[in-house]
Amino acid sequence: MAHAYVPEIAIDREGNEHEVQGWQDDFYGGKLGFWLFMLTEVMMFGGMFLALAYYNTLHPQDYINASASLNRLLGGTNTVILLVSALTMGLGLLKMRVGDVKGAKLMIWATIILATAFLIIKGFEWTAEYHHGVFLMHDKLLADSTALPFGQKLFFGMYFTMTGLHGLHIIIGIGLMIWLLKRINANKVRQDHHILYWNIALYWDIVHLIWVFVFPYFYMIGAAGGTGGH
Amino acid sequence: MDTKTIDYQKERVVYYKVLVGLLLLTAVTFVQPHMFMTHSTFLAQMLIAVAKAWLIVMYYMHLKGEKLIGASVIFALFLVAVFFVIVIGVDVPNFQYATDSYITSAPNAN
């Protein structure tokens, strides 16, 4: 059953009535809403960092030893990859804002390639750790295994959980960027209407931001050398 | 729509400057455990991370000059910090069940 269109009326302080228009072009509202979403992300990862810090204070030496055994070359490479990808995403948005649509699309593709490279490197890293017997619900991390001290099991449990969740965000980011390309091709995202691009760029920045803390906490706290590891 | 007029060249230069800053801080991340604050690696690493985060949030996420969103971010971070202080600063040092907890008294815990 079809409904008749009933305009929504807003009344200003002087008592004048105004018909409420669509909010498709409410740039600030769109941005503010996305920031609120990102704050929930901060709280979610904040809770995980809290658990990580809690276990760390209980087992400090195990954390340092476990951290020392991680591959800092691969972790560092991924750090630089994400850093450059944040630049390409930002430059792409800038190009879109000045009307260079082709340049903007090229920058999105560059970001997608960098994001994929990040995942491939992470895949190599996880595979190597699996072959060392270190993986969730596997070999040395099993509850009855005595191959690793308990604190290291906690460390690696948090490591796989947090880098895994971060990796999931990367995959979602790639999906969003492909969707963004489709919207640009359909002329739904353009120079005068680019809030979607803006918010996906923000999303990519928060993914980068989370890694800025994940990387040193897992890879660098034992960089001066531990006394073992897996 | 975004009504700000933008100076492409100027903003592009800012992006590259921030990139250089982030790369330098990343380099500092790698040399820090061997060069300075060697007995406080965790603290040093987190301070470097905060500096990087500040650059990203202010310039890549365009938070500079955004009062309402900036206040929301500070409020959210404050909430997270409160829980950190309660758990790490108060609960852990006064934990009364260390001998009962598997986390603190597992057979191979140290």
Helices A27-58 & A60-68 angle (0-180, nearest 10): 110
- Tens of pLDDT, residue by residue over A14-68, are 999 988 876 667 888 899 999 999 999 998 999 999 999 999 998 999 999 999 9
Taking residues A93-109, report their average pLDDT: 97
pLDDT band at residue A224 under the 50/70/90 scheme? confident
- Tens of pLDDT, residue by residue over B4-63, are 678 899 999 999 999 999 999 999 999 999 999 999 999 999 999 999 999 999 999 999
pLDDT at B14: 96
CA B23 to the chain's CA centroid:
16
Does a structural domain hold residue A66? yes
- Tens of pLDDT, residue by residue over B60-92, are 999 988 899 999 899 988 988 999 999 999 988
Q: Which of A87, A90, A224 sits opposite B38 (nearest CB)?
A: A224
Q: Which of A39, A72, A209 sits opposite B72 (nearest CB)?
A: A39
pLDDT band at residue B108 under the 50/70/90 scheme? low
If you write DSSP's letter for every residue of A47-106 in order, what string do you get?
Answer: HHHHHHHHHHHHSHHHHHHHHHTS-HHHHHHHHHHHHHHHHHHHHHHHHHHTT-HHHHHH
pLDDT at B9: 93
Does a structural domain hold residue A139? yes
pLDDT at B110: 56
Is the Cβ pair B109, A59 closer than 8 Å? yes
- What residue numbers bound the domain in which A109 lies? 42-220
Question: What is the CATH classification number for the domain harbouring A163?
Answer: 1.20.120.80
Taking residues A203-221, report their average pLDDT: 97
Does a structural domain hold residue A11? no
Does a structural domain hold residue A147? yes
Q: Which residues of A touch B100 (CB under 8 A)?
A: none
pLDDT at B100: 80
Our CA-based measurement puts residue B47 at a distance from the nearest CA of chain A, in whole angstroms, of 10
Among A70, A41, A42, A39, which residue's Cα sits nearest to residue A158? A70
Does a structural domain hold residue A31? no
pTM: 0.90
Does a structural domain hold residue A71? yes
ipTM: 0.90
Does a structural domain hold residue A14? no
Q: Indicate the number of domains in chain A.
A: 1
Pairing of strands A9-11, A134-135: unpaired
Q: Which of residues 21-60 of B touch A (CB under 8 A)?
A: 22-23, 26, 29-30, 32-34, 38, 41-42, 45-46, 48-49, 52-53, 56-57, 60
Does a structural domain hold residue A134? yes
Taking residues A174-192, report their average pLDDT: 97
Q: Are B16 and A104 in contact (CB under 8 A)?
A: no
